[in-house]
Structure 1
Amino acid sequence: MALELRVWGSAFGLDSIDPECLAAVACFRSCIPRQDWTLIASNDAAVSSEYRLPALSHKGNWVSGYSDIISYLTKHGILHIDDDLTPPQRADTLACASLLATRGSGLLAMSLYVSPRAWVEMTRPAYSSLLPFPLTWTVPPAVRAAAVEKAEHLGIGYLAAEVDAEESSSAGLVETTSTGFLRLRERLGPRKTMQPEHTAAIRFQHFAEDFYSVLDDFRGHKTFFLRDDKPSSIDFLAYGYLQLMRVQTPHPILKNALEKSYSRLVVFVTELRSYGDNEELPWREPKARGALGLIGRFAEGSIEAIPGVGGSWRKWHKGGVDTRDTYDVRDPTQLIIAVGGAVTSVVALGAVALFRALPPFGASAHRFEAAREDRAGLRQFGEIGSILDGLPI
């Protein structure tokens, strides 16, 4: 069958750092025979044309994203967990998936990416352990920026400061609160008597409890979200999100709200984890990236980070020709800008490599030069030494 599932690698004691990747791994583990698939922690979204993980490779076809992977496997008769769903159950599946992708994704973004302490102490090091140098400089900031965008729809995205939290924390310019978020300069809360950071924390907890309440009511007293006898695709997706929400962060608002008030969801996660095949996952090492491949990926990330250019490059490189808009074609000007940016990035990478080869600032420097005459000079070596000592240098 030759199914290859590519995901973000392990982090926080879980099989992946990404909720959809966790869902795909859990679904494959439970529903597809172990000999029919392999699991690769590629940590490279560029393996798919959609630049998204999880990504499935099957007979030369690439499919990205959990829902699209499930649809593909169902269409080709490989997966059957949703075959017997009724129309109302399919509608519930779409509604629940939308809730997870919006509200659930935003909550995870606030907990693991927006919170400066969680980002610096946990999430950024996790990505650094998954990525080779120099991608550790370009990929994590891009992932975090995307996560901050997801958090904005919750109404508390302003907790992500405009300055870089990691640099500011090291420089002592930004103060964090007891909730783990950045201390705000102005009082944005509804009550002047309450500090705005406390108001934001309370609001964040309210959103979390509201999210858990909807999931808990949707599941009810059933073993799984749609039925009692076996899980469906939405169960594995909910599992992926809830697993990451149980991660012990420096300020575990999500974890505490889930485990203290919604024990039925905790039981669901535990039971689904033990459902199906519990053998070791069929991990396989990804192919080593060559130097040119690393430089190319680094150049792409560098270009995307350039204000005013990144958007055009991303649209040209990842979007291509959109068949829905026939007038939207690849602009040669954007290509010229992109190539120029790529060359600049390669030069910068060479400078970085040279810089890394230099001794650390403040390290002792050793200077080697001919010793000056002290005491008897070369005369101490007898007549020959006296002759040599008299020669001009």
Structure 2
Amino acid sequence: MKLQLHVWGPAFSLPSIEAQCLAAISYCSLALPKDSWELVASSDPSVSPTGELPALQNGSIWVSRFRNIVDYIRKYSNGEWDLDRDLDESDRADNTAFSSFVESRGQALIDLSLYVTSQNYYGNTSPAYGSLLQWPNQWILPPKLHSAAKTRTEHLGLSSLDLQAMEDQRQREHSAAVAAGHIPRNFIQQPRETVSGLLGRTSQQNHFRIDALTGEFFEPLEAMLGQKSSLLAASTPSSLDCVALGYLSLALIPDLTQPWLRDAMRAKAPRLSAYTERMRTSCFGETRIEAVHAFSPESAPPSSLPWRAPGRISVTAVGTTLLSTLADSTPFLSEIRRNNRLKQEVESVDSGLSPRERAAVSMYADASKKDMYVSVAAVVGGVAALVGYMFHAGLIAISSGEDEPEEEEEEFSDYLDSGEQPKVADFLSGL
């Protein structure tokens, strides 16, 4: 049985729209024989029991996340399919350190470029998801990914790249000013900011922040690459090169409405840009990759990637997706699910936390869940006590409505027993 790698589907001429998926694809392309694995653009995290992509499937065994996939492939092949087998201890330490560096710094820049920058998200990223997702995921997943990216980058202080958020904030301030009876002069006819304006004026604080972020990411990798063909070894790529390709290709290749990240990479790291193009061709092939290639491999041009068409979404999967979305939108259930995900995240092997930290965060998640249950129980108990008091005080009375007909029957029987003959006038007056 062939190994199956499930990933987010193609976009921007790349085999996936997600960096970790691109890293996993490049590793499998370099390390595995082509006839030993298949690439499935399922674009649905629910296909994996862990709820994450990329996910490697070997029969009933599922492995998620790039580092776990690399470890599983190494053990599965007894070290034969291991790109890091020739690294010494020093290189292995550098591999781990720089992989973490690329993932942390690179993800923030990808989030800012593809999701937080409004013109790129609405003009490029969201339509790309629409072409590779099936109903109802095409309406549910992109907003969730957009919101998650904005949450991950809030600490960077670059929310002004999200023009929609800026406009919403401006509308709220405008409404508040109108409600207060005055509108500041500098708030009237104020033009909307654009990303080009934010980046074009060097006096803007955003420009310096973005310049610093891109420099902190690209320049160390440019210096590390030097004149070599790969980041660590002189000739053979390692798993670090696969991780770097995943993030650098999403920075360099997409043709976006506001390509500020690509421009920064080309200006600050020309050798790194050439390296990314070379690695992209080596791992993904020279053919321009479209979404149709993943869904109809037989109609696609020859490719170096072993595409396999994903299965159609089932009714059960649709129902599960809708129920999960409804649960995440319900305050009580969403809090419970959030705590469960937090606990599952910290208890995973690759969480990066020490046993003491994992125990502390897990205890916090359990305590939060218990507090939620106590709060709900207190509310239910309070409502029940209030209703009971209202019954006791007579504020609420329940009438069965069955006694009134019996009283009418008794009155009619007494009337007949009295011996009086009914009169026509009385009968008509009763009508």
| TM-score between both structures, scaled by the size of structure 2 | 0.66
1:209-228 to 2 correspondences below 5 Å:
209-228=215-234
- Deviation (angstroms), 1:200: 0.9
- The residue number in structure 1 matching 2:245 is 239
User: Is there any run of 5+ residues in structure 2 with no aligned partner, and where?
Assistant: 176-189, 286-302, 348-358, 377-431
- Shift of residue 308 of structure 1? 5.3
Offset of residue 115 of structure 1? 0.8
Q: 1:34 is matched by which residue type in structure 2?
A: K
Distance 1:276 1:8, change over 3 A: closer
Identity of aligned residues (%): 30
Q: Distance in 2 between matches of 1:54 and 1:267?
A: 26
Give the direction of change, closer, same or farther, for the CA distance of 1:286–1:2 in structure 2 (3 Å limit). same
Change beyond 3 A, Cα 1:284–1:299: same
Q: CA deviation at 1:160?
A: 4.1
* Contact map agreement 2:219 2:268 (CA 8 A) in 1: no
Secondary structure (helix, strand or coil) at the match of 1:217 reads helix
* CA apart distance, 1:317: 7.0
Looking at structure 1, the residues matched to 191 and 33 of structure 2 have their Cα atoms a distance apart, in angstroms, of: 51
The equivalences for 1:1-393 within 5 A come to 1-76=1-76, 77=78, 78-157=80-159, 159-160=161-162, 163=165, 176-179=192-195, 198-246=204-252, 247-275=254-282, 278=285, 279-307=303-331, 309-316=333-340, 325=362, 328=366
Give the secondary-structure state (helix, strand or coil) at the position aligned to 1:275.
helix
Distance 2:152 2:345 in 1: 26
Checking the alignment, whether the CA contact within 8 Å between 1:138 and 1:302 is kept in structure 2 is: no
Cα-to-partner distance string for 1:99-118 (whole Å, 9 max, x where unaligned): 12211100110011001111
Per-residue CA deviations over 1:261-284 (Å, capped at 9, x if unaligned) read 311011211222233684431111
d(CA) in 1 for partners of 2:84 and 2:138? 39
> Cα distance, 1:295 vs. partner?
2.3
RMSD: 3.3
Q: Is the 8 A contact 1:4 1:56 kept in 2?
A: yes
Displacement of 1:134 in angstroms is: 2.1
Q: 1:273 to 1:304 in 2, by over 3 A?
A: same
Contact 1:29–1:281 (CA under 8 A) maintained in structure 2: yes
Which structure features the higher share of helix residues?
Answer: 2
Give me the whole-angstrom Cα distance separating, in 1, the residues matched to 2:332 and 2:191: 30
Distance 1:272 1:204, change over 3 A: same
Offset of residue 312 of structure 1: 1.5
Structure 2 counterpart of 1:121, one-letter code: G
- Aligned match of 2:183: none
One-letter code of the match for 1:179? V
Mapped partners of 1:97, 1:308: distance in 2: 38
Which stretch of the first structure deviates more once superposed, 307-316 or 60-69? 307-316
TM-score w.r.t. length of structure 1: 0.72
**Residues 203, 10 of structure 1: CA spacing in aligned structure 2 closer, same or farther, 3 A cutoff?**
same
Query: Measured at CA, do residues 252 and 227 of structure 1 come closer, stay the same or move farther in structure 2, by a change above 3 Å?
Result: same
1:19-57 CA deviation, whole Å, 9 max, x = no partner?
A: 111111122122211110001001111222332211101
Structure 1 238/277 Cα, relative in aligned 2: closer, same or farther at 3 Å? Answer: closer
How far is the alpha carbon of 1:178 from its aligned partner?
3.0
Larger Rg: 2
Deviates more, 1:70-79 or 1:85-94: 70-79
- Greater shift, 122-131 or 37-46, is seen at 122-131
Cα gap change, 1:13 to 1:152, in 2 (>3 Å):
same
Residue 218 of structure 1 deviates from its aligned partner by 2.0
**Which has the larger displacement, 148-157 or 244-253?**
148-157
Which digits, 9 at most, give the CA deviation of each residue in 1:39-98, with x for residues without a partner? 100111122233221110124211111111111111222522111211211111122111
Pair 1:195–1:225, CA change in 2 (3 A): closer
Q: Are residues 60 and 67 of structure 1, via their aligned partners in 2, closer, same or farther at CA, if it must alter by over 3 Å?
A: same
